[in-house]
Amino acid sequence: MIGELATYTTYLVRVGVHAQIARLLGEPDLKLGRGLTVICRTNRGIELGEVLAEAPLSIEADTPIQFDGNILRRAVTEELYLHSELKKLADQFLPDAATAIAELDPTAVLLEVEPMLDCQTVYFHFLSATPDSVQHLMNSLAERFQQTVQQSRLAELLEKGCGPGCGTKDHGCASSGCKGCGVAQACGSKKRI
């Protein structure tokens, strides 16, 4: 005889640069359609994902189950902008990181630098398993990438806004004030008028 069933609202979500499919738990009242971009908490950190399909899961209530993470919410414009800017910085950082790694071990081929949305976590993807000879270099490269982010236009934009008069109704993004700004919510130091 089957025991009491528990039903979970889960979604199949594409995450990461290698387009892995994850089963993520969503709130019961969260209704997401195919193609929506969401903010997810996975074992890798906070990242963007693309909803592929709703995949309700019903199992016996006392059966242990593991999900690949949670869907936190739909992504907003500012988060998409942040992801885009982090991706640009990662693409610019990749050649220098690949050179540093190749100098240490010519067999180690770095394919991708992938930052998470927390601006603190970065993953390095190799063609094959990461050689032990470059393991100690990974922390140094991660710190260098974080410094790159901190010294970037993105950090300046988040700290100072988009230029002189940013945050006023007569200046800022296209003279429409913060209403027209794509990163207004992230611009925490500017007073909204």
The total of other beta-carbon atoms located within 10 Å of residue 109's CB is 13
Distance, in Å, from the CA atom of 94 to the CA atom of 35, rounded to the nearest integer, reads 28
Q: Map residue 73 onto helix, strand or coil.
A: strand
The total of other beta-carbon atoms located within 10 Å of residue 133's CB is 12
Provide φ and ψ at 105, rounded to 5°.
Answer: -150, 105
Residue 1: predicted pLDDT? 41
The total of other beta-carbon atoms located within 10 Å of residue 151's CB is 11
CA 11 to chain centre: 18
pLDDT digits (tens, 9 = 90+) for 144-188: 999 988 888 776 666 666 555 565 555 555 445 555 555 555 554
Q: Where are the alpha helices (DSSP H) in the chain?
A: 77-104, 132-150, 153-160
Residue 115: predicted pLDDT? 93
Distance, in Å, from the CA atom of 49 to the CA atom of 38, rounded to the nearest integer, reads 5
Residue 157: predicted pLDDT? 67
> Of 68, 45, 70, which is closest to residue 121 (Cα–Cα)?
45
Distance, in Å, from the CA atom of 90 to the CA atom of 114, rounded to the nearest integer, reads 7
> Of 87, 84, 10, 15, which is closest to residue 48 (Cα–Cα)?
15
pLDDT for 11 beyond 60: yes
pTM for the model stands at 0.73
Comparing 107 with 66, the larger pLDDT belongs to 107
Taking residues 15-44, report their average pLDDT.
91
pLDDT digits (tens, 9 = 90+) for 104-152: 888 889 999 999 988 778 999 999 888 788 888 988 999 999 998 888 8
C-alpha R_g of the chain: 21
